[in-house]
Amino acid sequence: MSPNSDEEQERQKRQRMRSLVIALALGVMAVLFYLATIVHLGGDVGNRPL
């Protein structure tokens, strides 16, 4: 393999890892927002007049 090809592979690997971390971070944020909403709504949220 040529050095340029190795560098390109390395660069793409770093880019993939960054994308993965961003995706995970966004996923964690979504989960945290969901959990916080459940906490703020309280345990008896289903028991209300509709």
Partner 1 sequence: MQGLGARGEASRIGKVSEPSVGEFVELMKPRVMSLVVFTALTGMLAAPGSIHPVIGVIALLAIAMGAGASGALNMWYDADIDARMARTAARPIPRGRVTGGEALTFGSILAVLSVLTLGVLVNWTAGALLALTIGFYLFVYTMWLKRRTPQNIVIGGAAGAFPPMIGWAAVTGSVSVESVLMFLIIFMWTPPHFWALALYRCRDYERAGVPMLPVVAGAEETRRQIWLYSLILVPLAITPVLIGLAGIVYGVVSAVLGAVFLYLAWNVRRITEGREADQAARQLFVFSILYLFLLFAVLLVEHAAARWIT
Interface with partner 1 (CB under 8 A): 11, 14-15, 17-18, 21, 29, 32-33, 35-36, 39-40
Distance of closest approach, residue 49 Cβ to partner 1, in angstroms: 26
DSSP 48: S
State how far the Cα of 41 lies from the Cα of 47, in Å rounded to an integer: 12
Q: What's the Cα-to-Cα distance from 26 to each of 5, 23, 49, rounded to whole Å?
A: 32, 5, 35
Nearer to partner 1, 16 or 50 (CB): 16
Minimum distance of partner 1 from residue 28's CB (angstroms): 9
